Amino acid sequence: MITAIHTGLPVIAGQGQGVKIYCSKQAYPVYQQLVAKAGNANYWAGLIVRSIQGLQSGAVNSKDVFVHTGAMHKGLQDFQVIMPGCTVLAQKKNDGSYVISGIDATGDYDKQQEVGERPGLHRVKAKREMWETKFKESRTVEGCGSVNVVGVADRGYGKASDAANRIAPRIKQSGIEQTVSSSGFDLFFTPGNGKLGGLINYQQAVKAETDADLHEAAVILSETMKQAKSLKNVVWFSDMGGSAILTQAMKILATHQHKLEGHKVHFHRARSRKDRAYALSQQLGMTLAEGMGKSNLLNVNELIGGTSLSVPFQRFKHESDYTLLKGASDVVKGIKDAKSAWGTVSALGAAAAFSGSFPAAATVIGVIGSALTIASANAPDATDRLMSKF
């Protein structure tokens, strides 16, 4: 119910008690349209309406990654609530109430999700030697087997099926779930150009929790994760730069004190800080699936995620079965991996040059081996496509 007060502005939340939320006459028609769409099971409109009404319960606060606080204006605090396809302009009054002064919303966000132009959840199933995707209108993870895998892909793929065909073999190779070929898995796809995180996007890699470029995908993913919290045996498998999106999504959930007990995480070749991602997973009550996930330190963009040597110490603190000996072993292994990764190429070349029987052939083998090693590290998608032909 929406009521009016003496100021002439409608009250859209908090009519009975608690913090009141008023809506300006300019923003009110847009808000009514969103409420109507939400009533017709429009996922995106429902997300916006819930976020606006969340002001009433204090769900929006200064720690929220999607709130941008502005300057004081005539004694009122200006701020923006940034959501997928929508920006809400608001002011906080001295009595703690809020006035929604503007709503800038994209009307066809749901349609854009369906055609892969916006971040969203897709179902992936194997068909012959390829993987096919279909957008999930429910936008939720459903229990489809003993283990429900959700792959969080990196950005930079032309369409969801491209991302699925790269991430599916990596899920199988990780040892997390070998039945994905028959049971399928869910894929969180983020459209856009350019990979996420890594040294090329250094600030994004080290501050994934608050990076604005990740915000839209992270909010949608956090909603998907929140809707799945009643399920057990869900594994959130991030691939490459997908670790940055998953990190910010976990930050959003942790800010609002949600729990995902019974859920697991795995970071495959992470391009953002794994120590921060691990800490957030612990706040949510999550555990690791088949360890933290491997890194290839020949790829400089994985150095930030792959050399997080504080992770073993964090694991020793939080995991009862993670012994001090295991932690020390992982620290030493991390240091050795960093040193030996670049030695791999020179070792291959040296082995080739050392052969006296067939020096020319050995040199060719060494060059090919070195090239494949470097290519696999720095161009994994292209290398996977090449090797799948053999």
Phi, psi of 149 (to 5 degrees): -100, 135
CA distances, 194 to each of 142, 166, 298, 329, 380 (Å): 30, 16, 20, 35, 14
User: Which of 102-106, 246-250, 316-320 ranks highest by mean pLDDT?
Assistant: 246-250
Partners of 186 in the β-ladder: 123, 150
Domain-embedded: residue 243:
yes
Q: 204 pLDDT band (50/70/90 cuts)? A: very high
Q: 65 pLDDT band (50/70/90 cuts)? A: low
| Residue for token pair 């795995």 | 266
Q: Are residues 118 and 96 in the same domain?
A: no
Q: Are residues 157 and 295 in the same domain?
A: yes
User: Which of 74-78, 190-194, 231-235 ranks highest by mean pLDDT?
Assistant: 190-194
Q: How many domains does the chain have?
A: 3
Q: 336 pLDDT band (50/70/90 cuts)? A: very low
Measure the CA–CA gap between 306 and 278, rounded to whole angstroms.
13
Measure the CA–CA gap between 343 and 331, rounded to whole angstroms.
19
Domain-embedded: residue 327:
no
> What integer pLDDT is reported at residue 371 of this predicted model?
47
Q: Are residues 142 and 283 in the same domain?
A: yes
Task: Give 201 or 144, the one with higher predicted confidence.
Answer: 201
Q: Are residues 64 and 97 in the same domain?
A: yes
Q: 385 pLDDT band (50/70/90 cuts)? A: low
Measure the CA–CA gap between 136 and 115, rounded to whole angstroms.
11
Share of the chain above pLDDT 70, in %: 69
Element (H, E) at 236: strand 234-239
User: Which of 178-192, 226-240, 374-388 ranks highest by mean pLDDT?
Assistant: 226-240
Among residues 296, 321, 346, which one ends one of the domains?
321
Say yes or no to pLDDT of 237 above 80: yes
Coil vs helix vs strand at 4 = strand
Q: 180 pLDDT band (50/70/90 cuts)? A: confident
Phi, psi of 78 (to 5 degrees): -80, 140
Task: Give 376 or 290, the one with higher predicted confidence.
Answer: 290
Half-sphere exposure of 15 (CA within 13 A, CB side): 10
Q: Is the dihedral of CA 62, 68, 72, 75 positive or negative?
A: negative
**Does the predicted model carry a pTM greater than 0.85?**
no
Task: Give 302 or 230, the one with higher predicted confidence.
Answer: 230
Residues 6+ apart with CB under 8 A from 359: 353
Residue type, 345: V
Element (H, E) at 67: strand 67-73
Least confident of 178-192, 267-281, 312-326: 312-326
Q: 227 pLDDT band (50/70/90 cuts)? A: very high
Among residues 106, 140, 157, which one ends one of the domains?
106
pLDDT in tens, 127-160: 888 999 999 998 899 876 678 999 999 999 999 9
Q: Are residues 92 and 124 in the same domain?
A: no
Task: Give 330 or 168, the one with higher predicted confidence.
Answer: 168
Among residues 73, 106, 139, which one ends one of the domains?
106
Element (H, E) at 234: strand 234-239
Task: Give 78 or 161, the one with higher predicted confidence.
Answer: 161
Say yes or no to pLDDT of 124 above 90: yes
Domain-embedded: residue 330:
no
Domain-embedded: residue 331:
no
Say yes or no to pLDDT of 244 above 70: yes
Helices (H), 7-108: 28-39, 43-53
Task: Give 141 or 338, the one with higher predicted confidence.
Answer: 141
CA distances, 335 to each of 8, 313, 330 (Å): 66, 14, 9
Burial-class residue 253 by CB neighbours within 10 Å (0-12, 13-18, 19+).
buried
Domain-embedded: residue 144:
yes
Measure the CA–CA gap between 242 and 269, rounded to whole angstroms.
10
> What integer pLDDT is reported at residue 150 of this predicted model?
96
Q: Are residues 117 and 96 in the same domain?
A: no
> What integer pLDDT is reported at residue 319 of this predicted model?
65
Domain-embedded: residue 182:
yes
| Residue for token pair 């199933």 | 125
- Mean pLDDT confidence for 346-373: 45
Q: 61 pLDDT band (50/70/90 cuts)? A: low
Phi, psi of 233 (to 5 degrees): 55, 45
> What integer pLDDT is reported at residue 292 of this predicted model?
66
Q: Are residues 121 and 34 in the same domain?
A: no
Task: Give 273 or 314, the one with higher predicted confidence.
Answer: 273
Coil vs helix vs strand at 347 = helix
For the beta carbon of residue 361, count every other beta carbon within 10 angstroms.
11
Sheet-wide strand order for 98-105: 3-4, 10-13, 21-23, 98-105, 86-92, 76-83, 67-73
Residue 355 structural domain? 336-387
Task: Give 320 or 216, the one with higher predicted confidence.
Answer: 216
The mean pLDDT of the chain is 78
User: Which two structure tokens, joined as six digits, stand for 377?
Assistant: 């590290």
Task: Give 184 or 69, the one with higher predicted confidence.
Answer: 184
Task: Give 116 or 143, the one with higher predicted confidence.
Answer: 116
Helices (H), the chain: 28-39, 43-53, 109-114, 160-174, 180-183, 202-206, 215-227, 242-255, 274-283, 303-306, 311-318, 324-354, 359-378, 380-387
pLDDT in tens, 343-359: 544 444 444 444 444 45
